[in-house]
Amino acid sequence: MKKPFINTAHGWSGGDENTVNRTAIELSLEQFKSINDPICLAQIIHHLDFYGIDEAKEVLSDFLIKESRKTQKYNNALRWKNVCDMYRRLRKKEEWSKASHIALSNYMYHDLGIRFTSDTDSKFSETLRKQLKKT
């Protein structure tokens, strides 16, 4: 990676429900431009509106992840760092401050579409807990 990425999710606006999606898309697009890895584009897919056809989102994302894993250009440590940063920023918000880890990780997994290859929501939650301890 040529330069550090700055996570702008701290600029949360209470009235704008798309702030997290916009931030995730900006970050993934900047990463794609820097390292030219298709996994970054797969991350963007989960933050787009597919007009109620969520299966299209999953199929397209899984395809890009499968294709990009052949090259292993994208650093999983960096990806987890970004997910942990997002988790911590959400935790600071008043409405999430008292939520359990499982509730917040399920929100990230299901509503924000943050996925890793062959994860279930319970595996994602446990892996996220381990990653939070590391960073």
End-to-end CA distance of the chain: 19
Per the structure, the complete domain to which residue 41 belongs is given by 16-74
pLDDT tens track for 68-78: 665 555 567 77
Indicate whether 1 belongs to any domain: no
Residues 51 and 84 in one domain: no
- Residue finishing a domain among 36, 53, 74: 74
Residues 53 and 88 in one domain: no
Residues 82 and 135 in one domain: yes
Indicate whether 33 belongs to any domain: yes
Whether the predicted pLDDT of 12 surpasses 70: no
pLDDT tens track for 98-127: 989 999 988 888 877 787 765 788 888 898
Residues 53 and 98 in one domain: no
pLDDT tens track for 22-70: 888 888 888 888 887 777 888 888 888 888 888 888 888 878 777 766 5
Give the residue among 25, 123, 36 at the shortest CA–CA distance from 82. 25
pTM comes to: 0.48
